[in-house]
Structure 1
C-alpha cells in the first residue's frame, strides 16, 4: 500500500497563470493586516456577486458557489497552493495495489454543527446522496464510484475502473460533507446548512444575506482567526468600491471595470488563481455544425483578444483550452491550432456550400451580455447571422442538448480528468453535442486514470488526453476571466489556492 502523500509528491500541479496578471495589480498581501490582531471579535464582511441560491452542496453543484459553501462545509480533501489534493476531513488515504479501491481515514473526534459525528458513515452517506438524489448536480462526476462502505472512521471507495484521480475529485467542488441527519430533509438543508466547516450559520435570508460565527469544533479551528462572517449578495457592481471604502464591506469579488477605481481607492486588488474558461458551445448533431468545415470556420472566426480587451480590460487571458498555460494538463502542442483568420473561415464556409447570409441561427443565452454581442459580431464578419435570444430557463434546453449554439463558462475542476470529461466526454454536462465525443478521447482518458499522479509518465498522459479532447467539434474556447477580488488592507493575504478562497491563516486587524 502506498500513501497518497507519496503518490502525489511528484505530481507538480503548479499553477502560475496569475503571475503575469498579478504583476499589473496591487500586491495581495498587506503587512498591517497580518501583523496586528483586532482587540475584539473580527468580522469578515463579504459582498459576493454569486450568492448561493442553494445551500445543499449536492444541489449547488461545482459552480463558483462552492467557494461560499466552503464557509459551512468541510470536504473529504481540499486543494493546496500547488493544486494538489491534501487532507481535510480525511487525514490520509491509500490505494490498493490494483488502483481500483481507495480507503480514506476520517479524522476522529469531529462533529457536525448539529452534534452528529463526522465518521465514515457520514462520508458514505454524502457520496451516495450526491450519486442518487434526484436534483443532484454532482452525479455525473462520480461515475467511477461503484460502491462505498464504511467502518468506524474509515470509508472505502470501490471503483468501476482504475482511477487515481479520486482524491483530487472528492474535494470542495464535489464532496462538501453535510450532516447525514440534516440531509434526511434535503429541502430544509438547502436553506439551513449543517456542516463541519470553519463557520456555523446563525442567520440566513435566502438570496440576500447569511451570518456565520466561527466553529470551535472545526478540525483546523486553531488556524481560523476570523470570528464572524457577514456574507451578502452584492448590489450593482458600480457600488462595490464605495462600499469597500466606507467599510460596509471589507472583501468582495470585483468586476474588471472596477479594478482601476479600487486600486485608486487604496484597496488591495488581486487575481486569485483559477481555471476559468469560456467557450462557444456547438451542437454537431444539428445543421450546420454537422458539417466539419462549418465548425472549422467558426474556429478560425474567433478573435480571442477582443474578448480579453473588452470584457476583462486586459486582466484575463485568451485561451483555446480549458486549462491555463502553466497548468500540468495544458497541451503546448495544441496551442493556437486554429488561429484567428476570418478570410480562411469564409473560404471554409464556401467550400461547405454556404454563401454569406445562408446560415441564420439563434444564439440562446441566459442573460444579455457583451460576450454574446462579440460572438454575434465575429460570426457576422464571416457571413453567419446570429440572433441573440435571452432565455432565463436556458439551462433546461442546454443540458437537454436541444440548442444548436450557445455559450458557457466554467470555473473548472480540481481533477483535470473531471474537467476533460465534463467538456469532451459523451455524457459530459458541458458537451452540447452529447453523445458525441472525439475519436481516441475515451482511451486517452482511461490511460490517465490508470496512471498514478506521481508517475513520471503522468504529465504526458494527461496532455495527450487534453490533445484528444481538443479534437472535439463541440466547443470553441475563447477567454479566461480573472478571479478578481478586492479587500481592505486590514485583511491579510489569502492562500493562493487555485480557484478556491481559503480563510486558513487569514487575519483581520483592528483598523
Structure 2
C-alpha cells in the first residue's frame, strides 16, 4: 500500500496552470498516465481499465450540463487545443494557430491525416461545421462562450478561419475543453439526438455500448492521432460507487480505479490499496439564486458568507483533505487574488450584526436544496447558518434532477454544489456569473464585471497586464455576487494494479498507460 499526494504546481504563469498531462511519446512530451489492469466486471481479456468515476449527463459536448462531464467526454472526443501543466494552450488537433494584427481573426491549422473513430476524414470543413453547430444549435450550452464568433469557415483541408466580432484572445484556451471538442458532422447531420448515447468523435476510445445510469463500454480507437500511445484495449466506465462499497469493490477487483472521499482514505489504506491525492481546480460552492427570498436581500447573502466555518467543514466533512478557499481559483493560478485570501473568514458575530442592521429581528427562513450527495456538508452548513439566525430547511431532491431544477429551471434558492473549473478563465466567469451562465441560477450579472472581462479578453494572455486584469475581475465577482465559495476539493483515487496517475489538476489522460 502506498499513499501519495500529487501537488498542484504553484506557478505564477500569466496563463494559469490548468494541467493536462500527456504521454512522453507525444509531440508535447509531457507526463504519462498510470496503467490499468483488468477487473472482474471490466470486460474480457487483459489491458482493461475498470473506472468507477462518473457517467456523463450526455455524450454530446454541446448539450452537456455538468462541467465534470469533460472527464468522460475526453475519452471519446478530441479538442482543438490542449493545456499544458502551466495552463498554456498547446497543440492537439490543431498543430498551430495565429491571430491577425487586429486580434479579430484567428486561424487554426490542423494536423494532417486526422480521422474520426469511424475512419472518415477530420479536416477543416468538419471542424468548422462542428464549431458552427456548437454556437448556433438550439439548446447549446456552449454557445454563450462563442458569442464573439462572426463566422467560421474552412480554408483548404487544414486551416479553420474564425472571424470575430470583437478582439478575443481566449479562443486557444477555450477550445481546450468541451467547447472545442470536435463532433463528427456525419453523426449530427444524420441524427443529432443520437449523440446523447452514441458519441462520434476522434478521441482515444470509442463507445461500443452504453446503458444510461449503469455503465459504458469503450474500446481503443485505432484512428486516434496518437493511437500508438494507447495500450489499454478496453475501458469500462461506471458511476461513482456508494461509499459503503467502493473500497471493497476495488479490493475485490470489481474495479481497479475509483474515486473516494476523505472519509474513506483510512479504510482504503487498511485494505492495502494505493491512495493518491491529486490537487484539482474543483471548488465546493453554495450556489445562490439572488432573485428568490431570502437571498434577494444582500444582507442575508453577506451574513451567510461570514456564517460558515470552512475550517470545520474541512475537518468534519473532508477529514482534513482540501483547503479553505473564498474564490473560484486556487492559489498560484493566474486569476487568484491574494487580497481575497481570507475575505469571508468565519465571523458569526459579524453575520448576526449584518442581519440585525438589515432589520431581521427573527430567524430568516430559507430552503436549502440538497441532491443527497454531500449530506454531511449540507447538515453542518445548516447548523452554522442557524447559529447566526438563518433557519434553513433542507430539501432533498434526486441527484438526477439537480441540474434541471437548480440551473435550468432556476427554481431553487440555495444549493450545495461544486465548480470544476474551465480551460479559459473568462469562460469560468461566464459560467458562474454571466447573464446566461449555467451555474448562475438567477441569471443576474454586473456591468462592472462585464466591463472588466472585456479588458481581459482584449489582452493577449502573455501580456504583462493580463494577470492584474484577471485578478481584478476575481475581486469584483467574489465581492459582488452571491456565490459562496467554500473549499478546494482535491481528487482522491484508489488504485489496484494501476500505476500512479499524473499531476494534472484538469483531465485524466490515458496516453502511455501500461498494464502493471
Aligned to 1:281: 287
Deviation string, structure 1 residues 364-403 (Cα, Å, up to 9, x no partner) = 3333622221221111001111111123444344334443
Aligned to 1:499: 506
* Counterpart selection for 2:233 from 206, 227, 231: 227
What pairs with 1:149-164 in structure 2 (closer than 5 Å)?
Answer: 149-151=153-155, 152-164=157-169
Aligned partners of 1:200 and 1:29: how far apart in 2?
A: 20
Deviation string, structure 1 residues 313-371 (Cα, Å, up to 9, x no partner) = 111121100011121110001221222111111111111111132x1122233336222
Aligned to 1:447: 455
Aligned to 2:186: 181
C-alpha spacing 1:242/1:334, structure 2 compared with 1 (3 Å)? same
Alpha-carbon shift at residue 207 of structure 1 (Å): 2.4
On the 8 A contact 1:494/1:503 being kept in 2, the answer is no
* Counterpart selection for 2:324 from 318, 324, 328: 318
Deviation string, structure 1 residues 216-256 (Cα, Å, up to 9, x no partner) = 22111122222221222344222222222222221111222
Secondary structure of the equivalent of 2:216? strand
On the 8 A contact 1:243/1:249 being kept in 2, the answer is yes
What pairs with 1:7-406 in structure 2 (closer than 5 Å)?
Answer: 11=14, 13-14=16-17, 41-48=46-53, 50-151=54-155, 152-184=157-189, 185-357=191-363, 359-367=364-372, 369-392=375-398, 393-399=401-407, 400-406=409-415
Alpha-carbon shift at residue 448 of structure 1 (Å): 0.9
On the 8 A contact 1:277/1:477 being kept in 2, the answer is yes
Secondary structure of the equivalent of 1:193? coil
Secondary structure of the equivalent of 1:86? strand
C-alpha spacing 1:223/1:305, structure 2 compared with 1 (3 Å)? same
Aligned: 1:424 with 2:433: yes
Aligned partners of 2:278 and 2:344: how far apart in 1?
A: 29
Alpha-carbon shift at residue 470 of structure 1 (Å): 1.4
Secondary structure of the equivalent of 1:478? strand
* Counterpart selection for 1:436 from 439, 445, 458: 445
* Counterpart selection for 1:407 from 416, 420, 423: 416
On the 8 A contact 1:10/1:455 being kept in 2, the answer is no
Aligned to 1:21: none
Aligned partners of 1:396 and 1:206: how far apart in 2?
A: 17
Alpha-carbon shift at residue 204 of structure 1 (Å): 2.4
C-alpha spacing 1:121/1:272, structure 2 compared with 1 (3 Å)? farther
Alpha-carbon shift at residue 113 of structure 1 (Å): 1.6
Aligned partners of 1:105 and 1:127: how far apart in 2?
A: 15
Aligned to 1:461: 469
Deviation string, structure 1 residues 15-50 (Cα, Å, up to 9, x no partner) = 69xxxxxxxxxxx9999999xxxxx851212112x2
C-alpha spacing 1:123/1:207, structure 2 compared with 1 (3 Å)? same
Secondary structure of the equivalent of 2:197? coil
Q: Provide TM-score, normalisation by structure 2.
A: 0.87
C-alpha spacing 1:61/1:104, structure 2 compared with 1 (3 Å)? farther
* Counterpart selection for 2:485 from 455, 464, 477: 477
CA RMSD of aligned residues (A): 2.5
User: For structure 1, which segment, 276-285 or 152-161, has the greater mean C-alpha deviation from structure 2 after superposition?
Assistant: 276-285
C-alpha spacing 1:67/1:30, structure 2 compared with 1 (3 Å)? closer
On the 8 A contact 2:34/2:510 being kept in 1, the answer is no
Aligned partners of 1:211 and 1:32: how far apart in 2?
A: 18
Aligned partners of 2:52 and 2:36: how far apart in 1?
A: 19
Secondary structure of the equivalent of 1:298? helix
Alpha-carbon shift at residue 295 of structure 1 (Å): 2.4
Aligned partners of 1:327 and 1:279: how far apart in 2?
A: 18
Aligned partners of 1:305 and 1:321: how far apart in 2?
A: 15
Aligned partners of 1:163 and 1:115: how far apart in 2?
A: 34
C-alpha spacing 1:465/1:259, structure 2 compared with 1 (3 Å)? same
Alpha-carbon shift at residue 96 of structure 1 (Å): 1.1
Q: Provide TM-score, normalisation by structure 1.
A: 0.88
User: For structure 1, which segment, 284-293 or 118-127, has the greater mean C-alpha deviation from structure 2 after superposition?
Assistant: 284-293
